[in-house]
Amino acid sequence: MITQKNFSTPGKFAIIAFMEKRVSDAKLQAFFNNLVRQSFWQLGIYDATVAQYVADVLVEFARADKLYAIRSPRGKKVESIVEMVAAKPTAAADEKDLLRERSLRKYVGDYALFMSGMFRSHVAGRGFLDYYIAEGSRSYWTVSELDLTLYRTGFSLYQELSRKFEYYSGALDFTRKAYFAAEPGEDPFAGFLRQVEGWIKVNITEN
């Protein structure tokens, strides 16, 4: 059973514990996509591509190994965006380096969106909200530029996410308030877990 214990910081919460065993990626995708679309539609955001992307981010970071994908040389989880950005290659010498930088920048953008949206009060309380928004926007724009350099399609989506990062982060915060609100005095991470598990029990059944 999931409890509030050990979820006082983002580094301690792990949604993966019950999701990997009980819910397939396809069902989890449908679950988050439905909630994101509903909440975004309420805000007048009718861009299905953006809504799908945000839902994909939630699915991706519902796995603890994905949420903390970057590790220090000693194997420690990297939770600071400052440290993540510092991991950027010094110079892009070839396509492999460009792809590595793109992967890093996409991860930073996704992480900043997830944390500033789903756990905004936590990020703001630590005084990092403006930085997360700025770095998230910057990272998505870098992804779009790298996609153009690499002749990849989809760069316009990252330009959209970059230009309106704060707006979409706020929309994700609205999604949290609408569907994953914590009880008064409840740890926000524990509250998120409780709400997700509850929605899964009600809306998703295993075959």
User: Are the CB atoms for 27 and 96 separated by under 8 Å?
Assistant: no
User: In this predicted structure, what is the pLDDT of residue 14?
Assistant: 45
User: Is residue 140 pLDDT above 90, yes or no?
Assistant: yes
Q: What is the pLDDT of residue 175?
A: 93
CA distances (Å), 25 to each of 20, 22, 29, 70, 151, in order?
A: 8, 10, 6, 22, 29
Q: Is the pLDDT of residue 52 over 60?
A: yes
Least confident of 86-100, 110-124, 138-152, 173-187: 86-100
Q: pLDDT tier at 78 (50, 70, 90 boundaries)?
A: low
Contact between 197 and 18 under an 8 Å Cβ cutoff? The reply is: yes
pLDDT for 53: 97
Summarize pLDDT for 12-35 with one digit per residue, the tens.
444 444 444 455 677 788 889 999
Domain chopping of the chain, boundaries: 10-203
- The answer on pLDDT for 1 being more than 50 is no
pLDDT of residue 132: 94
